[in-house]
Structure 1
Amino acid sequence: MPEESRRDALLAACTDHVLAEGLIGLSLRPLAAAVGTSDRMLIYHFGSRDGLVAAVVDESTNRSVAYLNALQAPTSVRTGVLRLWQAYREPPLHACNLIYVQAAVSGYLGQEPYRSAVRSSNDRWAAAMRDWFQRCGAPRAKVARITQLVESSLLGFHVDLATDSPAELSRAVKDLADAAEGLAG
């Protein structure tokens, strides 16, 4: 198998494992065993544990963006917010968001490569959300404001799922959807 193909296959397997098990406490030897390789091969392909983590966060973001791009956009910003919240709770986005939050916490503490990986993830996710809201009919001049409001709020609600049920957050999400629709004019 060519080196690039082997690296891609390892990255996919490592990302699957991290999405299932989490990023916090990730150790190379157990990860390598879980994906059928050695820790030395992971270092060879990714340079270091940090290089692997950055690649996993990047791949997780790629999967999130692809998932969002594949969703059928509704015809209003309000319904778009509600559909996004539903998507945030579906397994693909839920798992990717958990990895993002775990990386973001480490980045918040100033640790690299988390800080840079999260910054890159933010940029790509925000671009995908701006496209989403344009597909939902938001005026181009207001898409950036709507995206910033909704992205920050939904991520906060997603974190709140650790302590609150989706039903408890439902009213706040509906209020957010109304506010975003109001911004859209």
Structure 2
Amino acid sequence: MGRREDLLDQVTDHVFEHGLIGLTLRPVAAAIGTSDRMLIYHFGNRDELVAAVVTRAEDRAVAAVDALPGAAGVRAGVNALWAALQRDPLHRCTDIYVQAAATGLIGQERFATIVREANERWVRALGDYLVRCGASPEAVGRIVRLVDSSLYGFHLDLSTDRPDELAEGVDDLAAAAQAIANGWDLAALGHAKGATR
């Protein structure tokens, strides 16, 4: 492993412990036993370092999802994914992504391209996991879109909502994902339900 990669792992570990918001070069350099000049040499500036940290956190998240065993069905798989998102490393990886979004950098180029590429790897990992849980390759894209965005929302609610209520909501999401995996058209079901009112 090169010096840059070693520094990146150290900074990422530091960010996992202390957060991304308010990160500045001099304090993080001191915390990991190097100089801010060394960080500038390897990363250019703070925004490039933040982008690299978000990418590294995404790499760790993808590896964690890749390591999840398939569950007995999509519903069980979504619930198992939610449980994994509440434990490290996925919990902290998700926190880093949310903090990066809060900084407003995600929408700015060059950061936007880096995050988009990381998100593509994340979506592929989720898709592969859900296929291991029984989703068909034809339905998995739709399921991933539903599950990914929803679980980020549930993650944000962890700080304010009761875990049992969130778990109930996640299971509703999991049931919807299973319905899509079973070939049910949820939009048509919603229209049919509305027509009976």
Task: Check whether TM > 0.5.
Answer: yes
Q: Measure, in 1, the Cα distance between the counterparts of 2:34 and 2:162.
A: 39
Residues in 2 aligned to 1:162 and 1:113: alpha-carbon distance in whole angstroms = 31
Identity of aligned residues (%): 55
Task: Give the distance between the partners of 1:113 and 1:107, measured in 2 at CA.
Answer: 13
Q: 60-69 vs 71-80, which deviates more?
A: 71-80
Would you say 1:32 and 2:32 are equivalent positions?
Answer: no
User: Structure 2 length normalisation: TM-score?
Assistant: 0.88
Q: CA RMSD in A?
A: 1.5
Number of the residue aligned with 1:140: 137
Structure whose alpha-carbon radius of gyration is higher: 2
Unaligned runs of 5+ in 2: 183-197
Q: Secondary structure at the match of 1:54?
A: helix
Aligned equivalent of 2:152? 155
Question: Is 2:62 the partner of 1:88?
Answer: no
Q: Secondary structure at the match of 1:91?
A: coil
Report if aligned partners of 1:106, 1:115 keep a CA contact under 8 Å in 2. Answer: no
Alignment of 1:2-13 (within 5 A): 5-13=2-10
Calculate the TM-score normalised by the size of structure 1: 0.93
Could you say what secondary structure the match of 2:69 adopts? coil
Residue 103 (1) aligns with residue 77 (2):
no
The alignment covers a number of residue pairs equal to 182
The 3 A distance-change label for structure 1 pair 80 and 10 is same
Q: Note the C-alpha offset of 1:123.
A: 1.2
Query: Is the 8 Å Cα contact of residues 103 and 114 (structure 1) preserved in structure 2?
Result: no
Q: Provide structure 1 residue ranges, at least 5 long, that are not aligned to the other structure.
A: none
Distance between the aligned counterparts of 2:155 and 2:108, measured in 1?
23
SS of alignment partner, residue 25 of structure 1: coil
